[in-house]
Amino acid sequence: MAHFDTEYQRLEASYSDSPPGEENLLMHVPEGAKSHWHHIENLDLFFQRISFYMKNGFTCMLLGEIFELVQLLFVVGFTVFLANCVDYDILFANKFVNHTDSSKVTLPDAFLPVDVCSARIRDNAFVIFVLIISGVFWLHRLVKFLYNVCCYWEIRSFYINALKMTMSELPYATWQEVQARIVEIQKEHQICIHKKELTELDIYHRILRFKNYMVAMVNKSLLPVRFRLPTLGESVFYTRGLKYNFELIFFWGPGSLFENEWSLKPEYKRGGNRLELADRLASRILWIGIANLLLCPVILVWQILYAFFSYTEVIKREPGSLGARCWSLYGRCYLRHFNELDHELMSRLSKGYKAASKYMNCFLSPLLTVVAKNVAFFAGSLLAVLIALTIYDEDVLAVEHVLTSITLLGVCITVCRSFIPDKHMVFCPEQLLRVILAHIHYMPDHWQGNAHRYETRDQFSQLFQYKAVFILEELISPVVTPIILIFCLRRKSLEIIDFFRNFTVEVVGVGDTCSFAQMDIRQHGHPAWMSAGKTEASIYQQAEDGKTELSLMHFAITNPQWQPPQETTQFISQLKERVHREATGAASDTHPLSLSESEVHAKSKRAFILLSFTHLLIPITSSSCPHFRYIFAFSFCRTDARTVSSGSSAWEGQLTSLVLSEYASTEMSIHALYMHELHKQQSRGELSRHTWHRQESDESSDSVPDEVRTISSTTLDSFGAGGKVVRSARGVPMGGWAEEGQAAPRHHETLPEESSEDDMPPQIHKVDAGCV
């Protein structure tokens, strides 16, 4: 790790969401005036349940919990029954049954007697062990179910009595409407006694406290989820089991870094004993890895059984479903903004699903297509004959393996068809990748202009993987997870300790949060992402891939009532003004005759990209915005959803809320495209990418080509920047860490060192070939 060491800090004024004079406020309410919702102790969990409850409701959540309990009993009980209580010789007609009244074999004939079945279960030690583990786990889930039912009922009462929302209108309400009511009732009920008023960012911080840490660690490539395998090359492995263990170690497990939901343990806030804490964390990771290794057989059996019962019917009904794609767990974490709720993320990724599928289908192999067509022809011929014989005489089905052959041939044809492209499909990967970028908002620099290359396709498949690959990774997760914990995560314990100390701040009324989640351009902005001249962050502090800037714009657009600090407000307003000016073709501040050729080309290209995206959108016909033709212009005449929703009817309010949500999504897409294009032009010709372990990049602009300097100065002058070009390299893995063998530039600034050598972060070490 670079020579960078800071102490845990209480949030300064630039971070604070509290009104002036309320930083240390503790609200006192007379005993008789307290409501039922006064001073909720665990606001993190309370707000999480509110956001989760909004789209489900009490009945759905209750039934979901009940069916989970029943499902666990069914899977374990049915598996034990199939393994010990069925005579498969009778079932497969290898043994005859003597009947007195009929010669026809029935299904109960294959069931063993109860006493025989019980004896076989008692004699099998492994089955007894599985039943004990399953029973303990089921009792734990039962206790958790009873607790959750009480909590769900409390949330239901909160919606009805405090928020004044009925259960019938809840499914049609937006999160912004619910959040606005929570902000309002804070003044009456004082659900948080540490602040007089709650802000939208306060609520997001409490709901996403731990998820923001995970997003930041993936952004800085701190978690060992990328590997180089001998034959497969660079791969990503990030499953639900591995994610569960990460959260168990860092946040809520026994001996974790947090002492409760909202506070980091005091010893992790000081840098003096960082080596001792790193050893303690490494030891804890080792023991958790060993526990995973011991429980591996049980978990592996459960994963296989659950996948078998879940996907067998789907595969039989739709064999091509395994060839469908889904956003990987790593992709959802890499593409997630800071302070973005689950439903907001999935809504955004779902809009890019079709374009992503079309892009991946552009790379079907011509050789594989020829083979698939011929295999489908031969399999179809055999299937047609068997179906014709079955139609002629149904006794054909009684012939051994005929029904099996029909099923397998049908599956083979369906699989082959998935490799045959649509003959009407047009190969346009660059345009598809730009549409994808408009929705997912994040993309490595070297993808642009290389969308037709298989390297780009392979890297994108790490974010957008086959469903079959997702299932396979989950199946092998019990085996691979202990290896990653013991051999990869444990060696990063010192970096993890430094990360939580350096990037944790205390927000008044919220608690300890990840400093990246504050979306402060000055503290974590990147000069190559329109923050030049506004950020004081060293390379160690900068978020990669424009995460700070894009997250800030997303949060500001999604929550229009949020009032950010003055510097942040200026950044947002200037960016919106520039996007509007270039998209609508308004005259720039500089006279066109004074622009150089490269400046004219850059500005015209950005305007073309914006208009090429907006021409696909629905024109605005409402008279509320008469001066703008396309949806992107709606960002400048948008009305508050809470004001509009109080119109003449509830239906009009719900419809308006949905329309406003779509407008916000479109507005963010256009801003993301604009920021990426500006970043691409600014970083053109740069030599090296900012990485986690950098020391300091070359700040001299003498070696920068004149055309790059011209574009950069033109781009940044309206933001008050000095036109400095930040260098970045192509081909760096997503997350921005340096590869093995790359030179590590120096920090922009020298930070004060501790008196003790042990207090300094570790030196740069070579990255192991197996763990990136």
Reported as a single tens digit per residue, the pLDDT across 628-674 is 333 344 444 444 444 444 444 445 555 566 677 788 888 999 999 99
Q: What pLDDT is recorded for position 42?
A: 85
pLDDT at residue 699 greater than cutoff 80: no
- pLDDT tens digit sequence for 16-48: 444 444 444 444 444 444 567 777 888 889 999
- pLDDT tens digit sequence for 456-470: 999 999 999 999 899
Distance (Å, whole) CA 546 – CA 526: 7
Nearest to 691 by CA among 323, 344, 219: 219
Question: What does the pLDDT average to over 55-60?
Answer: 82
CA distances from residue 9 to 89, 271, 274, 465 in whole angstroms, order as listed: 71, 12, 16, 40
CA distances from residue 232 to 228, 407, 457, 458, 686 in whole angstroms, order as listed: 8, 32, 14, 11, 30
Binned at pLDDT 50, 70 and 90, residue 759 comes out as very low
Q: What pLDDT is recorded for position 517?
A: 94
- pLDDT tens digit sequence for 435-458: 999 999 999 988 988 999 989 999
Beta bridge partner(s), residue 10: 506
CA atoms within 13 A on the CB side of 384: 6
Question: What does the pLDDT average to over 69-75?
Answer: 92
pLDDT at residue 746 greater than cutoff 70: no
Q: What pLDDT is recorded for position 514?
A: 95
Binned at pLDDT 50, 70 and 90, residue 603 comes out as low
SS3 call for 236: strand
CA distances from residue 81 to 6, 78, 120, 134, 592 in whole angstroms, order as listed: 59, 5, 10, 15, 80
Distance (Å, whole) CA 668 – CA 553: 7
Question: What does the pLDDT average to over 132-139?
Answer: 92
Cβ contacts of 522 within 8 Å, gap of 6 or more = 14, 534, 535, 536, 537, 567
Binned at pLDDT 50, 70 and 90, residue 766 comes out as very low
Average pLDDT, the chain: 77
Residue 255 backbone dihedrals phi, psi, to 5 degrees: 80, 15
Beta bridge partner(s), residue 511: 507
Using CB atoms within 10 Å of the CB of residue 556, give its burial: 0 to 12 exposed, 13 to 18 middle, 19+ buried.
Answer: buried
Higher model confidence: residue 264 or residue 97?
264
Task: Please give the structure tokens belonging to residue 722.
Answer: 């000095």
Q: What pLDDT is recorded for position 626?
A: 35
pLDDT at residue 90 greater than cutoff 90: no
- Which residue intervals of 591-690 are DSSP H helices? 597-614, 641-644, 650-682
Question: What does the pLDDT average to over 748-758?
Answer: 38
Place of tokens 């390299």: 729
Q: What pLDDT is recorded for position 655?
A: 59
SS3 call for 502: helix
Place of tokens 């029909």: 406
Binned at pLDDT 50, 70 and 90, residue 66 comes out as very high
pLDDT at residue 127 greater than cutoff 50: yes
Distance (Å, whole) CA 767 – CA 735: 15
Task: Please give the structure tokens belonging to residue 487.
Answer: 């051999």
Q: Where do the domains of the chain lie?
A: 1-12+202-335+464-518, 40-191, 519-742
Beta bridge partner(s), residue 746: 695, 696
Using CB atoms within 10 Å of the CB of residue 463, give its burial: 0 to 12 exposed, 13 to 18 middle, 19+ buried.
Answer: buried
Percent of the chain, pLDDT > 90? 40
